[in-house]
Amino acid sequence: MSIINYSYSRGYGKLREHLGLTQNPPVSSENIFILSGTQNFLSLIIAMTIRNGQKILVENPTYNLLVGAMDVFGQNILSVERTLQGLDLDTLEEKAKNHEFRYFFTMTRNHNPLGTTLSKEQRSRLLSLAREYDFYIVEDDYLMELSDENSLFHQAPDRVIYIRSFSKTISPSLRLCAIIVPDALVEDISHTNNYMNTGASLISQDVLHRYLTSDAYHKHIRTLKERIEEKCTLLSECLKDCPYPFQVPQCGMYAYIELPQDFRTMELLDNLDARGFRFRSDVEFSVTREVRGLRISLSRVEKKAIEKGIQELLMEMKAISTAKPVTKDIYL
């Protein structure tokens, strides 16, 4: 088929076949859909659950655009807490027992914003719960190439809808992601997809296919992984005197600092921003819109900037923690 023609809603056949053969474990191309980015799929699955009278459970904090998309669709957001220590699986099990949800959205590896990876014990228990209470796990593996731990999909492809995106590791301008769907859900997702997705750009899909099958791709990933690992090592060293709990992945793009509940986080961010240092709170990732900490992004920052930025951050943290809050006079 010509790549300047209309696309297929399932995606470019050659790309789907290649992804199926190179996936671990390998899958049929019939289980793979190529969409215009992760957000496209989130809209699709939200619409599907609404049509079927089902619900989605999410982690708190979670992918910020998922929170926004569910709000746009008028979906009540069910959530379960995830902290630096892991996922609250006891609460998840209670919700599963009561059949409160059909799908659970998670980032098991390199969580954004927490930077954590679920332990083997938690991953194992989560899969056991999915089988026992018959729900599906939607696994967003946006940094697949940088992760060493096994994905949930690798362990149980029959219980996992697997999202592989290419924005962070290859190019955001491609606007593509691959979805791998269990056999039991292919028909339902295909039906919904046919009416919500006219097909991702064939030109972008052809470019991605050519790149993934080239030596340049493997060289790029090796270089990227080395560079990100160096940044993570440097950041860990810079944060060694941080007075608050923090998480830096071995090889990931987001790190996190957990702050006390009464910490004046927005004042901290404003003061740093005024001096040209931009950090981000986790409020946009929070289902409850609470500020619990800071996310540090390593994706587009040089090593020299990491050292200077963290130095300024720690100095400002110390200044705020020892200073009294600034209050305005109130006249009655």
83: CATH: 3.40.640.10
Residues 174, 68 within the same domain: yes
Type of residue numbered 320:
I
Cis peptide before 26 (omega within 30 of 0): no
Residues 66, 197 within the same domain: yes
Placement of tokens 């290859």 in the chain: 170
User: Which distant-in-sequence residues (6+ apart) come within 8 Å of 188 by Cβ?
Assistant: 48, 52
Residues 101, 198 within the same domain: yes
How many Å from the N-terminal Cα to the C-terminal Cα in the chain? 76
Residues 126, 45 within the same domain: yes
* Residue ranges of the chain with per-residue pLDDT less than 70: 1-7, 324-332
Asked, for residue 6, whether it belongs to a domain, the answer is: no
8 Å CB contact between 282 and 291: yes
CA-to-CA distance for 119 and 237, rounded, in angstroms? Answer: 23
Helices 64-72 + 38-51 axis angle, to 10: 40
Taking only the tens place, the pLDDT of each residue in 91-130 is 999 999 999 999 999 999 999 999 999 999 999 999 999 9
CA-to-CA distance for 73 and 50, rounded, in angstroms? Answer: 9
Partnered with residue 83 across adjacent β-strands are 86
Asked, for residue 8, whether it belongs to a domain, the answer is: no
Asked, for residue 171, whether it belongs to a domain, the answer is: yes
Cis peptide before 113 (omega within 30 of 0): yes
In this prediction the pTM is 0.93
Asked, for residue 2, whether it belongs to a domain, the answer is: no
For 227-279, give the secondary structure using H, E and C.
HHHHHHHHHHHHCCCCCCCEECCCCCCEEEEECCCCCCHHHHHHHHHHCCCCC
Final residue in a domain of this structure, among 187, 213, 239: 213
Cis peptide before 61 (omega within 30 of 0): yes
Q: Of the candidates 106, 107, 122, 54, which has an alpha carbon nearest to the alpha carbon of residue 249?
A: 107
CA-to-CA distance for 108 and 140, rounded, in angstroms? Answer: 8
Asked, for residue 236, whether it belongs to a domain, the answer is: yes
8 Å CB contact between 28 and 186: no
Q: CATH number of the domain that 247 lies in?
A: 3.90.1150.10
Taking only the tens place, the pLDDT of each residue in 160-169 is 999 999 999 9
* Domain encompassing residue 261: 216-322
Final residue in a domain of this structure, among 213, 238, 266: 213
| 42, two tokens | 């989130």
Asked, for residue 56, whether it belongs to a domain, the answer is: yes
Residues 70, 157 within the same domain: yes
Instruction: Specify burial of residue 271 (Cβ count, 10 A radius: 0-12, 13-18, 19+).
Output: middle
Residues 193, 238 within the same domain: no
Residues 192, 208 within the same domain: yes
DSSP state of 34: E
Residues 175, 42 within the same domain: yes
Q: Phi/psi of residue 104, each to 5°?
A: -120, 120
H or E segment and range at residue 52: none
CA angle, residues 162, 163, 164, in degrees to nearest 5: 120
Final residue in a domain of this structure, among 213, 229, 257: 213
Placement of tokens 């819109």 in the chain: 289
Residues 203, 239 within the same domain: no
Asked, for residue 288, whether it belongs to a domain, the answer is: yes
Range 261-265, long-range pairs (CB < 8 A, 24+ positions): 261/292, 263/320, 263/321, 264/320, 264/325, 265/291, 265/293, 265/294
Total tally of structural domains belonging to the chain = 2
Give the per-residue pLDDT at 311: 97
Give the per-residue pLDDT at 9: 84
Residue 211: count other Cβ atoms within 10 Å of its Cβ: 15
Residues 207, 248 within the same domain: no
Give the per-residue pLDDT at 331: 42
Residues 189, 222 within the same domain: no
Residues 241, 259 within the same domain: yes
H or E segment and range at residue 211: helix 202-212
Give the per-residue pLDDT at 4: 60
| 198, two tokens | 């006219």
